[in-house]
Chains A and B, each alone.
Chain A
Amino acid sequence: MGAPESSVDCDPEVKAATKTVFYLVNNKKPNNYIYGEVTTGYLDFIVYNLPADKTGCPGRWLFQQMWAHFMLELTAITAIVGNWSGASTNLIKVNNLTSNNAMTLENAATQTNTGQYATTDVGYTHVTVIYPSPNTPFSVATRGTQGKYTQVVVHFTR
């Protein structure tokens, strides 16, 4: 696999590529990789390019490689999962955008990196926020309030 044009220190290597799993690392930058898997139509993934110093394989390019792989495999994808916690850039962006109730969580989610990949790049434009359910209290779901989320879970669908 070739590196994207004009990238610096991007040496991509696909570690796993099946109908439901895609795993690609950058051999020149340890914290630069994507791992995604599709379970019952839900694409969940992690992607990093840190430090954010303009080197490495861009996150958007990594997502595009993963997406192209799953399309080639004819893997059915009903939803793209956004699941952000800790100091993730996506969570920070959501908290900035939703503080003081300036924006809904749904709209803020579309402006994250993952949101842009899902909505702009592949047309999954509908956003559903996943909140804790009384029946499944330990499920992975959105925690916190506007501007102070500790975890945000959203589904992007067509």
Chain B
Amino acid sequence: MNQLDPQRIQSLKTMAAEGRSIAEMVNSARSANGSSVLHAVEVLSYFREAFGLTLAQVKPIADWLAYGGGEAAESALHDLVWPGIEWRREYWTGTAAE
């Protein structure tokens, strides 16, 4: 798989710190830098790298990208993925003693 772009990873962390929605973060990660749209598996890789998440924790993103579903689906996506990111806040803000 392609090497991950550190700027794109940092952008995700910044958006999370700003409290942006998971859907916004996914859309941003997919299309950052005006390059071609990322494949869903690459989007998952960025989230995992940025926030230290497992495949299981980011899998709802793949479902959302595959099936879509409007505002209700966006809200449900956020409810499923955000707790994991919040739980790992010390990891991605660099305040953890790792």
Q: Which residues of B have CB within 8 Å of A37?
A: 55
- B73:A87 contact, CB within 8 angstroms: yes
| Known A31-B66, A50-B66, A50-B67: A85·B1 in contact at CB below 8 Å | no
Number of interface residues of B (CB under 8 A): 27
* A84–B63 touching, CB < 8 Å: yes
Q: Is B62 an interface residue (CB 8 A)?
A: yes
Q: Indicate whether A151 sits within 8 Å of B80 (C-beta atoms), given known contacts A23-B1, A85-B59, A140-B56.
A: yes
Inside 8 A of A50's CB, which chain B residues have their CB? Answer: 66-67
Q: Which of B1, B39, B40, B56 contacts A16 (CB 8 A)?
A: B1
> B56 and A81: CB pair below 8 A?
yes
State A88–B68 Cα separation when bound (angstroms). 10
Q: How distant is the Cα of A46 from the Cα of B69 in the complex, in angstroms?
A: 18
User: Chain A contacts of B80 at CB under 8 A?
Assistant: 85-86, 143, 150-151
**Distance A85 CA – B54 CA, assembled complex (angstroms):** 16
A140 to B55, CA, bound (A): 10
Contact of A86 among B40, B57, B67, B87 (CB under 8 A): B67
Judge whether B83 is part of the interface by a CB distance below 8 angstroms. Answer: yes
Is the Cβ of B56 less than 8 Å from the Cβ of A35?
no
Q: Does A83 lie at the interface of the complex (its beta carbon under 8 Å from any beta carbon of B)?
A: yes
Q: Which residues of B contact A25 (CB under 8 A)?
A: 39
Output the least CB separation between B21 and chain A (Å).
15
Residues of chain A with a CB closer than 8 A to B87's CB: 138
Instruction: Report the 7 A-B pairs with minimum CB-CB distance, sorted nearest first.
Output: A87-B67, A86-B63, A138-B87, A140-B56, A85-B60, A138-B83, A46-B62
